[in-house]
Amino acid sequence: MTVRVAIVDDQALVRAGFRMVLDSQPDLEVVGEAIDGADALRLLDRVEVDVVVMDIRMPTMDGVEATRRLCADRPVGPPRVLMLTTFDTEADAFAALRAGASGFLLKNVPPEELLAAIRVVAQGDSVVAPSITRRLLDRFAGQLGTGPAEDPRLAQLTEREREILLLVAEGLSNSEIAGRVHVAEATVKTHVGRILAKLHLRDRVQAVVLAYESGLVTPGVQVRRTT
């Protein structure tokens, strides 16, 4: 299957470079370019896209705001956003994840890493390890506005799904969760898929964010287990 990609960056030379790399791959197709976030939203109204490669800092509308609006309009499914940044700062990474990005990379990564990240995001996964997500959320938790009330969407989860969500929020991989709860890894993958579907989330990174925002996880503290 060909992955349709849109490139969003205010620098023409950067867009041209990314297009050259992507056009060299038989399974990737650049279907559009945009010069800022507002231009990207207009483009996505006209063109079907699977993955948006989005610069985080642009004039008029930056990548974070564009991602936030895109994910609000289309909370489930494509297009998914891979955020790029020149500056390796946790603040930028946190903002990108909370806006709904499925991952973030530095612009100076090798081409093979960019290509691999696009393919991973297109499959519905994230390119940010959940453990890194948790570290970011622990640091910036004061900005989340967590309260004592749980998100009402969590009531849809079974006891087992709730347990799996807590372990995802702890930063465990599917294989690690399987070992913890003594089931097959494929069973964990099925549970995670159902959790994301029930909660209308794009990927497991967004599940970690929800676990923090709903109060299931206390910043800097081991997650609470269900019984």
pLDDT over 70 for what percent of the chain? Answer: 82
Please name every residue paired with 227 in a beta bridge, in sequence order, or none if there are none: none
pTM, to two decimals: 0.70
Is 203's pLDDT higher than 90? no
Give CA–CA dist 33/21, Å, rounded. 14
Report which of 155, 158, 165 is spatially closest to residue 204, judged by C-alpha positions. 165
Report which of 170, 218, 198, 205 is spatially closest to residue 67, judged by C-alpha positions. 205
pLDDT over 90 for what percent of the chain? Answer: 45
Mean pLDDT of 19-25: 95
Question: b/e string for 52-82 if b means 16 or more Cβ within 10 A?
Answer: bbbbbebeebbbbbbbbbbbeeeeeebbbbb
Would you place residue 94 in the very low, low, confident or very high pLDDT band (cuts 50, 70, 90)? confident
Give CA–CA dist 191/172, Å, rounded. 14
Q: What is the pLDDT of residue 138?
A: 64
